[in-house]
Amino acid sequence: MKLNHDGKIAVLDLGDDENRFSPDFLDEFDAHLDDVVGGGAQGLVTTASGKFYTNGLDLDWLMAHGDQTQRYVNRVQGLLARVLTLPVPTAAALPGHAFGAGAMLALAHDFRVMRADRGFFCFPEVDIRIPFTPGMAALIQARLTPQAAVASMTTGRRFGGTDAEAVGIVDATAPEGAVTAAAVEMLKPLENKDQGILGAIKNTMFGPVVAALTQA
């Protein structure tokens, strides 16, 4: 995971593998968010350098640490809540697949740009027999129209970039190699927002979602 800057916009590259949410991944992500908020960046783009944005939950770790499942899920949901209310403008640049909790991470951003010709956005929970937690369902339903929420949450459908844009899952698509730059350009007009005000607005907008995500 690497944090760089394009002018005033911080660009966090999640990595070049499946970028699953291992405990170490979550700790590193949180530390980078501290740097973004405390370091004066005026926007955040998250992206990846491989064929995955992120595949979400680290199921291998979960299988090996079943006694820590609830603590782990709470940790993931806490990160989703933090990104959702981050006091700077945010955009997820999806150069490849975003599945499950990885797709939820993308939805927690203010905006999303997806590669037009490669990669899928998918909630596979209905097919892998894992129900959404109340917090995760609240996040998805707060960010998508009712039609898009039903189409994505109950079917397991894999949305390509143009399909995802058509139903409002992502805000824009871009060609190969241009996804991150497009996300940065999306945020540049939003520079110089006051962190305190923007954070307060997001916490008000998403108060019920944050409550659902962070309840014990």
Domain boundaries, the chain: 2-214
What are the C-alpha distances in Å from 135 to residues 1, 94, 214, 216?
Answer: 26, 23, 8, 11
CA angle (3, 54, 61) in 5-degree steps: 105
Q: State the pTM of this model.
A: 0.96
The CATH number that domain 2-214 falls under is 3.90.226.10
State how far the Cα of 123 lies from the Cα of 116, in Å rounded to an integer: 19
Residue 14 confidence (pLDDT): 98
pLDDT tens, residue order, the chain (216 aa) = 999 999 999 999 999 999 999 999 999 999 999 999 999 999 999 999 999 999 999 999 999 998 999 999 999 999 999 999 999 999 999 999 999 999 999 999 999 999 999 999 999 999 999 999 999 999 999 999 999 999 999 999 999 999 999 999 999 999 999 999 999 999 999 999 999 999 999 999 999 999 999 986
Selection from 103, 108, 104, 115 nearest residue 90 by Cα? 108
Rounded to 5 degrees, φ, ψ at 83 are -65, -40
Selection from 54, 53, 104, 58 nearest residue 81 by Cα? 104
Helices and strands in the chain, H and E counts: 11, 9
Residue 39 confidence (pLDDT): 95
Token pair for 80: 């989703």
Asked if residue 199 lies in contact with residue 87, where contact means CB atoms within 8 angstroms, the answer is yes
* Amino acid sitting at position 120: F
Gyration radius (Cα) of the chain, Å: 16
Selection from 196, 174, 176, 169 nearest residue 185 by Cα? 174
Residue 216 confidence (pLDDT): 62
CA 151 to chain centre: 19
DSSP, res 57? B
